[in-house]
Amino acid sequence: MTLNPAALDAYWMPFTANRQFKKAPRLLTQADGMYFSDDRGRQVLDGIAGLWCVNAGHNRPHIVQAIQAQAAELDFAPPFQMAHPKAFELAEQLVQLSPPGMNKVFFTNSGSESVDTALKMAIAYHRVRGDGARTRLIGRERGYHGVNFGGISVGGMVANRKMFGTMLGGVDHIRHTHDPARNAYSVGQPAHGAELADDLERLVALHDASTIAAVIVEPIAGSTGVLIPPQGYLQRLREICDKHGILLIFDEVITGFGRTGNPFGAQTFGVTPDLMTVAKGLTNGCVPMGAVFAQQKIHDTFMTGPEHLIEFFHGYTYSAHPLACAAALGTLKTYAEEGLLTRASQLQDTFAKALHSLKGEPHVIDIRNLGLVGGIELAPLPGEPAKRAFNIFLDCWEQGVLIRTTGDTIALSPPLIIETKQIDRLVETIRTALRRVA
For 93-113, the pLDDT digits (tens) are 999 999 999 999 999 999 999
Confidence of residue 2 (pLDDT cuts 50, 70, 90): low
Q: In this structure, is the dihedral angle defined by the CA atoms of residues 190, 404, 112 and 108, taken in order, positive or negative?
A: negative
Give alpha helix (H) positions in 208-342.
Answer: 233-244, 265-269, 296-302, 322-338
Domains and CATH numbers, the chain: 5-55+340-436 (3.90.1150.10), 64-338 (3.40.640.10)
The answer, yes or no, to whether residue 6 has pLDDT greater than 90, is no
Confidence of residue 438 (pLDDT cuts 50, 70, 90): low
Q: Residue 142: which region, alpha, beta or left (left: phi > 0; alpha: psi -120 to 50)?
A: left
Q: In this structure, is the dihedral angle defined by the CA atoms of residues 115, 274, 106 and 85, taken in order, positive or negative?
A: positive
- Position 94 scores a pLDDT of 98
The answer, yes or no, to whether residue 157 has pLDDT greater than 70, is yes
The mean pLDDT value for 88-97 works out to: 98
The mean pLDDT value for 246-271 works out to: 98
Global pTM exceeds 0.75: yes
- Position 5 scores a pLDDT of 73
> In sequence order, what are the residues at sequence separation of 6 or more whose Cβ sits closer than 8 angstroms to the Cβ of residue 301?
125, 128, 129
> In sequence order, what are the residues at sequence separation of 6 or more whose Cβ sits closer than 8 angstroms to the Cβ of residue 378?
363, 364, 365, 388, 389, 392, 408, 409, 410, 434
> In sequence order, what are the residues at sequence separation of 6 or more whose Cβ sits closer than 8 angstroms to the Cβ of residue 156?
139, 140, 141, 142, 143, 144, 173, 176, 224
The mean pLDDT value for 196-209 works out to: 98
The mean pLDDT value for 188-200 works out to: 98
How does DSSP classify residue 274? S
The answer, yes or no, to whether residue 4 has pLDDT greater than 80, is no
Residue from 99, 220, 208, 225 nearest 157 by CA: 225
Residues 322 and 74: beta-carbon distance below 8 Å: yes
- Position 62 scores a pLDDT of 98
For 329-355, the pLDDT digits (tens) are 999 999 999 999 999 999 999 999 999
